[in-house]
Chains A and B, each alone.
Chain A
Amino acid sequence: MKIASFLALALIMFCNLNAADKYITKTGHIWFYSKTPMEVIEAHNNQAASVIDIKTGSIAFNLIIKSFKFERALMEEHFNENYIESAKFPKSTFNGKFTNFDKSNFTKNGIYKVNVEGDLNIHGVAKHVKTPGSIEVKDGKIYAKSKFSVKPEDYNIQIPGIVRDKIGKNMEITVDLVYEPFK
């Protein structure tokens, strides 16, 4: 009996050691899009770093602004120098948590609807945001997707009247990440 309980304990400890608490990505894909009759704006960042802690249900992002890739040089220059001021504010961050979500689902294969809530920092301005999303847990990986929009003006990004019609009032932001266990 003693041996059995010892073995059980050893097994539990072994499993705990093996199970990762953190899931990470350093090549997450985040892009933004806006369309007006005058202009389509689109830029992709494939270097988003993010961590999900499945024990606490927290999620963090760290985005290097300069990693946003545009097709056109002038648009990329204006984005960095005039609007988001990447020299002054080189990073955008998010720190939040999954709400209304059973944490044990992180280790069970399936597709789940989730809500995420936390502080989004862009251009040196932090705002509390909430967004729905979905996660798929499949064979030890977590696939996370979400789409939400932000208003540039909310983050103190000044857009001159002369180009205001070219840039959408809302920027649509799409998040598409694949997390792997952190070893």
Chain B
Amino acid sequence: MKKRTLIILASVALVIIIAAIVGLSMYFKPVKNFSASKADITMSSKSFFEEFLKDQSTANSKYVVNDKTIQITGKIADIKKNDDGTVSVLLDVENPEGDVSCALTKEESLKADKYKPGMTIIIKGQCTGFQELINKEVIMIRCGIVE
């Protein structure tokens, strides 16, 4: 009888501990690593840009809201170092008023040295939306270089 009570108590304690571990790890789970996760969508910078240009809200619900990992292939229009040491890559979209802007993570920025304007690059990351205040630009953050 005593042994049985002990086993029940021990199992209850075990369940509570497991639940606490699962709960806490969910609570403290870091944000998805977009640059390392498998691409959900693969497309060219030109057609990606044109979808946003055509209908921003449809493109937002397709690519932004669901936190999809987006892989974009395009020609580098410009590549620049920001004040915090990270690198932004602007992809050409065959439209003088626009581009796809990709902000690389700190680690991925270290790999950017060998890339120059005019080269073709494949970048993977999170799309956050469309900026229209200055030019027309699809914004990608948390990006990594695929090749």
Contacts and interface: CB of A to CB of B under 8 A. Distances in A.
B31 interface: yes
Interface string A163-183: 000000000000000100010
Interface string A3-15: 0000000000000
A69 B31 CA distance: 9
Given A66-B128, A90-B60, A51 B31 contact: no
A49 B29 contact: no
Interface residues of A, number: 29
Contacts of A91: 129
B45 interface: no
Given A26-B131, A51-B134, A72 B30 contact: yes
Interface in B125-144: 126, 128-134, 137, 139, 141-142
A27 B131 contact: no
A64 interface: yes
Interface residues of B, number: 30
Q: Interface of chain B, helix or strand or loop or mixed?
A: mixed
A62 B132 contact: yes
Given A27-B88, A73-B31, A178-B83, A62 B129 contact: no
B84 interface: yes
Contacts of B86: 46
Interface of A: 24, 26-27, 29, 46-47, 49-51, 60-62, 64-67, 69-74, 76, 86-87, 90-91, 178, 182
15 contacts: A46-B141, A47-B141, A49-B131, A51-B133, A62-B131, A66-B128, A66-B129, A67-B129, A69-B142, A72-B28, A72-B31, A73-B31, A87-B60, A87-B65, A90-B129
